[in-house]
Structure formats: structure tokens, C-alpha cells
Amino acid sequence: MAQEKISTTQQNEDPTPQGNAPTRRQLVLRLVGAGFLALALMLLFYGGVALTAYQNGEQLRVERQQAEQLAELNNQLALAEENITAGNFDLALRRIDWVLAQDPTNNTAVELRQTAQAELTALLTPSPTPTTPPPTATPEIPPTPDPAVVYDEVAAEEAFEALAALMEKGEWDTAVEDLISFQNSYPSHRRGETDQMLYDAYIGLGRRLLLTEQVERGLFYLGQAERLGNLPEEVRGEISFAELYLEGIVFYNVNWEAFFYYFRELCTYAPNYQNACGLLVEGLGKQGDLFAFQEDWCPAASYYAEGTRWQGSGANGLGEKLGTARANCAQATPTPGAITGTTGITGTEPISVTP
């Protein structure tokens, strides 16, 4: 009995967890759970911030691309207006068609295209030449005399000599106008000679215009000459170069790869035509600068290198840019080290093939 009382007393004196008091393990688990919850909330918060920043960045990128495209569209329309003013209607149409391909609802481009097309149509429509009226079927009624047939021989000869002087001086534009007027006034006076003179004037004027900004007008006059006779092979080559130039120049600062496609060929066969090689090197430099700005050094080096090949190592300062791009490209592209620690294969026998 005495032992049972002592045991009961000890049990009453020992402190044990009673009621709802948490144990130490429960406290630890609660702390860990609170930590995970806090971490999850932080991840959710920063994840939301990152997502918002990404979405804002994407929106800014899209807006910047749209602004750049709009600026380029406006630039091409401004260049098209300059082409129309200078009489380069075909080049203007090429620029406008590119704009409409990007933005078919551009009202300015639509109006400019109508203007350029109307001007080009007027340019390419030859002036009508008067024809001799057919003879009347009624012999009793005398035919009306053609004033172009009755003319003063002396005046006609004087006008012809003036035309010959213009041809001698190489004043092709005036000669073309005066020759057409002369043939309208004196259609039968030295017709063969004036046809030859008109043919030569068309070629002279057309070739001269091919070297200016009025390339399309030059091609038009050479086309008029071809209606009178076959063109020399040299002139046909110049026409090919002019057409190649027109095909490529519309891509300048718009689509560099397309521009390079045409001007590489033009620079190869006609390096001096319309500064073909200079424009090619300039474009290659600009494309290289674009990659260099993005720190994409290896493509930048390739464009700089091509530019120097076309026009020498000092072309437009590309030599220095090429050196910088190559150095940075080498740093960005680590060279793998030599393979060591290998053991050669020994004791091998040649393989014999039994037929």
C-alpha cells in the first residue's frame, strides 16, 4: 500500500503535456509550413511581377516594330514622291507597290500609285503621227490637198540643216523634238535620213538618261529607237544593267538580302554603273553595323569582310570594323582544346577480302 501511494504521488508530480498545449514537434511543423507558405506567396508575387514585366516588354517590342515599320513606309512614300517629281515613275511604282503589300489600306500610297501610273502611261504613249488620208472613191470630187505634202522645199532644206547641226552637237533632247516636228511637217522630205537621225537621237538621249536618275525615261527612248531598227549589242547590255539596277534599288534599306542579290551581279558586270559597287559596299556595311549593334559579331564580320572584298580593305572604314568584329567573334566562339590522353591502336591486322 505504501508503494502504491508513492507511485501515485510521483505521477501527480511529473509534468506531462495536458489539454491542447502543442508539442515541440507540432511547433516545428507549423513553423516549416508557415515558411513554405511565405515562400509560395513570394514566388507567386515575383512570378506575377515577372509575367507583367514580360508582357509589358512584349507590348513595347511590338509597338517599336510597328513604329519602325510605319517610319519605313513613310520613308518609302517620301522617296516615291521624289521619284515622281524626277520622272522616275517605274521606280516610284515599285516603292509604292511594296508599301501597299505591307499596308493595303494606305490611302496615300493608293493616290500616289494612281498619279505615278498616269504619268508613266502618258510618258509611254507615243505622240500620234498624222497619216495621209485615203484617196476618195468618187473621182468627180477633187480630193482635199494634204497640207503636209505641199511645202516649201527651201524651208524644208533649211530645217533639215538645222537638224543636222543639232545632231552634230549631240543635243539629243532638242533633236528628238525637232525631228518629230519636222517629219510631221515634211513627211516625205529626206524621210530615210530623218528616220536614221531620229534613231540615232533616241539612242543618244536614252543612253545619256540611263546614267542619271531618269533611268526609266532612258529605257523608254531606247525602246523608241528599237521600233526604228535593231539596237547595237552594247546598247542592249546597257539596258540589261539599267533593268537590273531598277530591280535592286527598290530594296535598298528595305530588304538588304534582296538588294545584295541584284547588286552583287551588277557590281560584277557593271561596277561603275550608277555607283553599283559603292552602293553594295555601303549596304553591306549597314547590315554589318546592325549585327554589331546587337553584338552578334560573327555575322557582322562576314558582311564587313564581303564589303572589303568588293572595294578594298579601306572601303568606308570597314577594315577597322572587320578587325573588331573578328576579335569579338573569336572571343564569343571558344576554340576546343586538343584531345589528349588517348591510346593508339596497335597490333592490328589488315583486312583481307576473299572474292
Question: What is the phi-psi region of residue 117: left when phi exceeds 0, alpha when psi lies from -120 to 50, beta otherwise?
Answer: alpha
Alpha carbon distance 221, 214 (integer Å): 11
- Cell numbers describing residue 267: 557590281
pLDDT at 134: 36
Q: Residues in the chain with pLDDT < 50?
A: 6, 126-145, 148, 313-314, 337, 343-345, 350-355
Contact (Cβ atoms closer than 8 angstroms) between residue 310 and residue 280? yes
Handedness of CA 264, 270, 273, 275 (dihedral sign): positive
pLDDT at 218: 94
Residue 213: other Cβ atoms inside 10 A: 14
Residue 139: other Cβ atoms inside 10 A: 8
pLDDT at 124: 54
pLDDT at 21: 65
pLDDT at 128: 42
Alpha carbon distance 63, 58 (integer Å): 8
HSE-CB for 72 with a 13 A CA cutoff: 18
- At 260-275, the pLDDT tens digits run 999 999 999 999 999 9
Handedness of CA 146, 149, 153, 157 (dihedral sign): positive
Contact (Cβ atoms closer than 8 angstroms) between residue 123 and residue 117? no
Q: Which CATH number is associated with domain 28-122?
A: 1.25.40
CA dihedral 296, 302, 303, 306 (to 10 degrees): 170
Which residue in this structure is represented by grid cell 557593271? 270
Which residue in this structure is represented by grid cell 498616269? 118
- 3 state DSSP class of 10: helix
Alpha carbon distance 189, 167 (integer Å): 17
Using alpha carbons, list the distances in angstroms from residue 171 to 204, 215, 323.
9, 18, 51
Which residue in this structure is represented by grid cell 533639215? 160
pLDDT at 317: 76
pLDDT at 351: 46
- At 289-298, the pLDDT tens digits run 999 999 999 9
pLDDT at 99: 85
Q: Which residues contact 196 (CB under 8 A, 6 or more apart)?
A: none
Report domain extents, the chain: 28-122, 151-332
pTM, two decimal places: 0.58
Alpha carbon distance 252, 264 (integer Å): 13
Identify residue 89 by its one-letter amino acid code: F
pLDDT at 7: 52
Nearest CA-CA partner of 123 in 100, 91, 80, 163:
91
Identify residue 112 by its one-letter amino acid code: L
- Cell numbers describing residue 14: 511529473
User: What is the DSSP annotation of 256-305?
Assistant: HHHHHHHHHHHHHH-TTGGGHHHHHHHHHHHHHHHHHHTT-HHHHHHHHH
Tell me which H or E stretch contains 144.
none
